[in-house]
Each structure stands twice: as structure tokens, then as C-alpha cells.
Amino acid sequence: RWSNYLSLKAAFNEQTSLILTAYVQPQFTDLEDVRVLNESSLSVAVSGSVSLVAVFRVLYDSRPPDGTEKVDTKLKTGVEVVF
């Protein structure tokens, strides 16, 4: 597979940032056989060392294994502490 990615980061202010990362992996011999992963992460600082974080992930596979959906999503939330 051919692997490509793009990553962008935006800081809206000193407390809030967004990171977007996308991977695209087409098959060399069949460009219609492709996998795509997109991850978006939003971080909001609530104090100097503590942030609330939400991560949304979308995975697409044009030809998934039997019994597997083409699109899979996942949402994670958490607290980040920086020392």
C-alpha cells in the first residue's frame, strides 16, 4: 500500500487547539482499494496544566474483511495533565 498523510494544527486561542490528521492508503495495483483514517482532536485547557480532550476517529476501508463495516467511528474523551 501507498501511505500518505496530512496533519494540521489550529490554535484558536491560548486555551483551545484542534489537531486534524488524515491518512490515505490506496493499493498500488488497484487504486479503488483504499483505506482512510481521519483523527480530530480538540483540546481545551481548564488550568495551567489540565486540559479536557475529545478525539473523534473515522476509519474507512473500501474493501473490509467479511463481517466488518466499511466505516468505523470512535469518540474518546479524557483529561490531560502535563507535568
Instruction: With a cut of 90, say whether residue 1 has pLDDT above it.
Output: no
**pTM of the entire predicted model:** 0.86
The helix/strand/coil state of 2 is coil
Spatial separation of the C-alpha atoms in residues 14 and 11, rounded to whole Å: 7
Give whole-number Cα distances, 7 to 46, 47, 65, in Å: 25, 26, 28
Query: Mean pLDDT in the chain?
Result: 96
Nine-digit cell string for 73? 467511528
Compute the average pLDDT of residues 5-31: 96
